[in-house]
Amino acid sequence: MNNSLWIGFLLIVAALLAAIPPASAKGEHDRRLRVEVAVLRGDARLLADPATPPLRRQGLRQRIRSSLGTLGMLVRYAAQSERRPQPELMEQVADLRDLFASGNIHGLARRLDWIKSNYPLDMSGFLPLAANPSRLRAGQSIYQKLCMGCHQNPDRNQPNPAPDLFFLAATLPQDEFAARMLGGIHGVRLTTLQNPFSDEEIASLMTFFASGRRGQTGG
């Protein structure tokens, strides 16, 4: 991406974040920050894995670069909404950018481990998963209407393909999977901060994916 497009992207994201009313954003900015840290940690882990294919590594680099570009804004908005300055976290963000720019992906992953352990995502509304028939039906309905078109048959020729969500549910740590669900559509740059679902809908989706029942609901 050239400099003018990159600056334009950052301005768009800043405008999206600034458009959220401060009163309603109380607590939400903090959660977005924790979600982004968890997803970044997962992406760094994949990038550091030598088994990750070259095209996928290219996509992960693009996504990490994009996320690091907006992470500082998330820290500032979280600090403002919580009325709690976080200069040490801003220093960590600068270090993350330096580690990524220098190609020190293992160092990046270790630093993200530290941040994630100090800024964990609250999983109380999602875990443990309650695999009741109502949630399974709701999760399947949302998946079939809104998700299946892209996620059922991921295009492996893309650097950031829409992932198989059942596979992710079976292989990722539950808190990282929840963070990816909360984080929105991370394969598309301008929607990385948007999540169209309520917490209950996400819990239903997580329950459905964890069940592995691609073509049926519980009864």
CA–CA separation, 193 and 190 (whole Å): 8
SS3 content of the chain, % helix, strand, coil (to 5): 70, 0, 30
149 vs 95, higher pLDDT: 95
- How far is the CA of 46 from the CAs of 29, 31, 43, 127, in angstroms? 26, 23, 5, 24
Instruction: Calculate the alpha carbon distances from 20 to 24, 50, 78 in Å.
Output: 7, 40, 12
75 residue type, one letter: V
pLDDT tens, position by position, 126-148? 888 888 899 999 999 999 998 88
- Helices then strands (H, E): number in the chain? 11, 0
Over residues 151-197, the pLDDT tens digits come to: 888 777 888 888 899 999 999 999 999 999 988 765 544 444 467 78
Contact 60, 47 (CB under 8 A): yes
pLDDT at 160: 81
Please check the confidence at residue 107 and state whether its pLDDT lies above 70: yes
